[in-house]
């Protein structure tokens, strides 16, 4: 099977390309390096020992993307190419609507033109907003509070309406909870530019003395220790969820799956697990709540388990250790 991975040099995209190649699939990667680094290409080859085709291109460039569909006989698409910083989406909404929606529309138009029947879309638990019931099931109410989340809801709607009027086509929407960790090689991982928005990359920078201390956004939530609870899932488990989605017999229409672990951990759980797994200290201070944050969010993954055979098996210790191993490997490489 030849899989087109759009945004395949990003954090989740690169880990999925690694798992696809390890599974013997043919891979074509498109990326414009707007939120990734070119050296990821060589790292993927080093990890897997496999070759793959790469096009440096913006997924919103329809004429450019058409050349890829003309040159490559694509069986399925995985669409990762979306901007994903919640805070940035609030200050630059048009950038997010244009990039995240137009890239999806371009891919669907070309899917129709070249009869590519299946697309797997990178969605997010952010579409659930503040959940009414926990754990969260796929039929839970949709409500988002920021432009980033709105783009995910809108893309899900665009994909659903496309397959509704195109018999034989399938859209698989994977709603990620909180991906963390890194490939066991330590060669690829999450390495955002500047000050990280997300918890784990921030913890890693504090442990590595790149940042002074972690700011814990609120300890007065209605949770066991008062800090925010999330469903952290190892990025390799998440990547394998995509492989399973592609291996499922094609079934027209839209299919939605939560990809998490079903376990909720608080901010302080993560801090303590990281310190224990890596023998480091992560100093922190308690701050005010971050606007827009919710108290608790964790998945019911029954549907993915039953229909895809999804079974996340990495532990919290694996997630913490692999995240640290990636930074230590990066640091060693930079020092050479
Ligand atoms: C996790 C917990 C914070 C940083 C976001 C997006 C979501 C997805 C994942 C793209 C919360 C706390 C964090 C810090 C802290 N991204 N925290 N200090 O907000 O659950 O989800 O990233 O798909 O769409 O919304 O993840 O890692 O930012 O926060 O205390 O410096 O850690 O309050 O409780 P979040 P996060």
Asked whether the beta carbons of 204 and 267 are under 8 A apart, the reply is no
Query: Is residue 97 among the annotated active site residues?
Result: no
pTM above 0.95, yes or no: yes
Q: Which atom of ligand 1 is nearest to the CA of 179?
A: 9
Average pLDDT over residues 22-42: 96
Residue 267 Cβ inside 6 Å of ligand 1? The answer reads yes
Asked whether the beta carbons of 52 and 21 are under 8 A apart, the reply is yes
Query: How many angstroms separate the Cα of 180 from the Cα of each of 11, 55, 221?
Result: 9, 27, 23
Share of the chain above pLDDT 90, in %: 94
pLDDT tens column, 80-112: 999 999 989 999 999 999 999 999 999 999 999
- Pocket test residue of 223, 293, 297 for ligand 1, highest count of atoms within 8 A of CB: 293
Residue nearest to atom 18 of ligand 1 (CA): 216
Residue nearest to atom 21 of ligand 1 (CA): 178
pLDDT for 318: 98
**Dihedral over Cα of 219, 273, 131, 11: its sign:** positive
Give yes or no for a cis peptide into 135 (omega within 30° of 0): yes
HSE toward the beta carbon, residue 194, CA cutoff 13 A = 3
Confidence of residue 235 (pLDDT cuts 50, 70, 90): very high
Residue 202 Cβ inside 6 Å of ligand 1? The answer reads yes
Q: Give me the helix-helix angle, 93-113 and 147-164, nearest 10°.
A: 20
Dist. CA 180–CA 270, nearest whole Å: 11
Q: Which atom of ligand 1 is nearest to the CA of 290?
A: 33
Residue 229 Cβ inside 6 Å of ligand 1? The answer reads no
14 Cα–ligand 1 center, Å: 21
Average pLDDT over residues 299-309: 98
Dist. CA 43–CA 61, nearest whole Å: 26
pLDDT for 331: 75
pLDDT for 336: 67
């Amino acid at each position: 099977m030849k899989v087109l991975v759009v945004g395949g040099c990003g954090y989740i995209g690169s880990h999925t390309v690694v798992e696809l190649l390890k599974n013997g699939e043919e891979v074509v990667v498109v990326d414009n390096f707007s939120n990734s680094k070119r050296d990821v290409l060589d790292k993927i080859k080093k990890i897997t020992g496999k070759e793959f085709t790469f096009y440096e291109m913006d997924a919103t460039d329809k004429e450019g993307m058409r050349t890829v569909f003309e040159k490559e006989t694509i069986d399925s698409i995985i669409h990762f190419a979306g901007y994903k910083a919640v805070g940035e989406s609030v200050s630059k909404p048009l950038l997010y609507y244009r990039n995240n929606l137009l890239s999806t529309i371009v891919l669907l138009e070309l899917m129709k033109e070249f009869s590519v029947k299946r697309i797997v879309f990178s969605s997010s638990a952010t579409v659930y907003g503040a959940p009414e019931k926990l754990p969260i099931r796929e039929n839970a109410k949709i409500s988002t509070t920021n432009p980033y989340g709105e783009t995910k809801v809108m893309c899900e709607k665009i994909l659903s309406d496309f397959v509704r009027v195109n018999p034989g086509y399938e859209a698989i929407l994977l709603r990620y909870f909180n991906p963390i960790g890194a490939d066991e090689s330590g060669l690829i991982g999450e390495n955002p530019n500047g000050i990280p928005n997300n918890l784990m990359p921030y913890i890693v920078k504090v442990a590595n003395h790149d940042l002074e201390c972690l700011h814990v956004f609120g300890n007065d939530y209605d949770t066991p220790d008062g800090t925010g609870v999330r469903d952290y899932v190892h990025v390799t488990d998440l990547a394998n969820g995509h492989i399973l989605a592609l291996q499922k017999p094609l079934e027209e229409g839209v299919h939605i799956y939560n990809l998490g672990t079903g376990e909720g951990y608080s901010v302080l759980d993560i801090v303590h697990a990281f310190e224990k797994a890596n023998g480091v200290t992560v100093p922190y201070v308690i701050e005010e709540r971050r606007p827009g944050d919710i108290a608790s969010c964790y998945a019911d993954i029954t549907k993915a388990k039953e229909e895809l055979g999804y079974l996340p098996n990495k532990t919290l210790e694996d997630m913490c250790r692999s995240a640290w191993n990636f930074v230590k490997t990066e640091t060693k490489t930079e020092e050479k």
